[in-house]
């Protein structure tokens, strides 16, 4: 039984790099579980950046300069983000905007009271 497990482990971990890699994967996986909500935008941006390298290389192949290639690249990212924002967050954004405009008079009233108390303190 132990011989079979040893042969299986020797097949999987044929060199020391794979052992180190497997030891690093476990804490990374646990951190993704714990901090997944925070890390998700960064992971998605890394994936987009990796995938757009091919697009930049195609621009270079067509003879475009570095600046024009970067400009196309950034405009594509901006338009993709803008489209995603328009599709997903429009309802939430309108609710937040409405709540903000309902809170502004309360903030102004608080500011007015605070300024009156400061002025009274300065006079006395």
pLDDT digits (tens, 9 = 90+) for 54-105: 777 787 788 888 788 888 878 888 888 888 777 776 667 777 788 888 898 9
Cα distances (angstroms) measured from residue 110 to each of 12, 58, 117: 66, 57, 11
Long-range contacts for 71-74 (Cβ within 8 Å, ≥24 apart)? none
- 69: exposed, middle or buried (Cβ count in 10 Å: 0-12, 13-18, 19+): middle
The pLDDT value given to residue 12: 65
Q: Is the pLDDT of residue 123 over 90?
A: no
Average confidence (pLDDT) over 4-19: 69
CB 72 within 8 A of CB 62: no
**Is the pTM for the entire model greater than 0.95?**
no
């Amino acid at each position: 039984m132990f011989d079979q497990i040893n042969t299986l482990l020797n097949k999987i971990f044929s060199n020391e790099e794979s052992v180190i890699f497997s030891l690093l994967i476990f804490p990374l996986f646990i951190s993704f579980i714990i901090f997944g909500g925070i890390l998700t935008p960064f992971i998605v941006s890394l994936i987009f950046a990796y995938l757009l390298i091919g697009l930049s290389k195609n621009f270079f192949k067509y003879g475009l300069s570095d600046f024009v290639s970067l400009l196309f690249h950034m405009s594509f990212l901006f338009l993709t983000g803008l489209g995603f924002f328009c599709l997903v967050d429009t309802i939430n954004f309108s609710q937040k905007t409405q709540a903000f405009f309902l809170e502004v008079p309360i903030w102004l009233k608080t500011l007015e009271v605070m300024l009156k108390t400061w002025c009274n303190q300065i006079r006395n």
